[in-house]
Amino acid sequence: MIAQALLSVLLGGVLVYAWAEYRRSPLVGALSIVAGLAGLYFVWMPSHSTLVAEFVGIGRGVDLILYLWVCISLTVMLNLHLKLRAQQETITKLARSIATANLAAAQEAPAVTAEEAPKPAPPAADAHTSRQMRGQSA
């Protein structure tokens, strides 16, 4: 009974997590809800797990539970992967903003005169591009 209560609390936590995730990722949320509900059902009706296990050809109920737990773990891993992707998108936006801000700052910087330039003036074609790098024309 104690084990059942503890497992119920844990699986209840999984359901709360799944409900919260459902808004962000419906598929992951739905999979987690199904896995959590199945876990709760088998915790309180352990004999049914053996029946279901035999029906699907697994053999023992405990193996079925183990497989379900693996499914839950994989679902959580998938969700973590999706969250990492979402974070990467945020980093991309930040990096892009920094890159364009740096470019704007460089273009607004005062032009370097020929006398101040550390290197000799480039050939005609390059002179055009170098000048634009300093923002004197677009």
Partner 1 sequence: MQRNRSKSVYVICPAFNEARTIAGVLAGLAGQGYEIVVVDDGSSDGTRRVAETMATTVISHPVNLGQGAALKTGIDYALSRGAEFIVTFDTDGQHRPSDIPRLLDALVRERADFALGSRFLGGAQRTPVLRRLLLRAATLFTAVTTGLRLTDTHNGLRAFTRRGAAALRLRQDRMAHASEILAEIARSRLRYVEVPVTIDYTEYSLAKGQRAGDFVMILLDLFAHKLRR
Provide the 10 A C-beta neighbour count for residue 54: 13
Size of the site for partner 1 (CB under 8 A): 29
The Cα 112–Cα 124 span in angstroms is: 17
The interface region with partner 1, picked from 3-11, 26-34, 46-54, 108-116 by CB under 8 A, is 26-34
Q: In the 8-state DSSP scheme, what is residue 25?
A: -
Q: Does 133 bind partner 1 (CB under 8 A)?
A: yes
Q: Considering beta carbons, is residue 51 or 77 the nearer one to partner 1?
A: 77
Q: Considering beta carbons, is residue 4 or 73 the nearer one to partner 1?
A: 73
Nearest alpha carbon to residue 1 among 35, 44, 31, 60: 44
The Cα 97–Cα 91 span in angstroms is: 10
Find the binding residues for partner 1 in span 39-78 (CB under 8 A): 78
Four-residue CA torsion sign, 62, 66, 72, 76: positive
Q: Does 136 bind partner 1 (CB under 8 A)?
A: no
Contacts to partner 1 by CB under 8 A? 24-28, 78, 81-82, 85-86, 88-89, 91-92, 95-96, 98-100, 102-103, 122, 125-126, 129-130, 132-133, 138
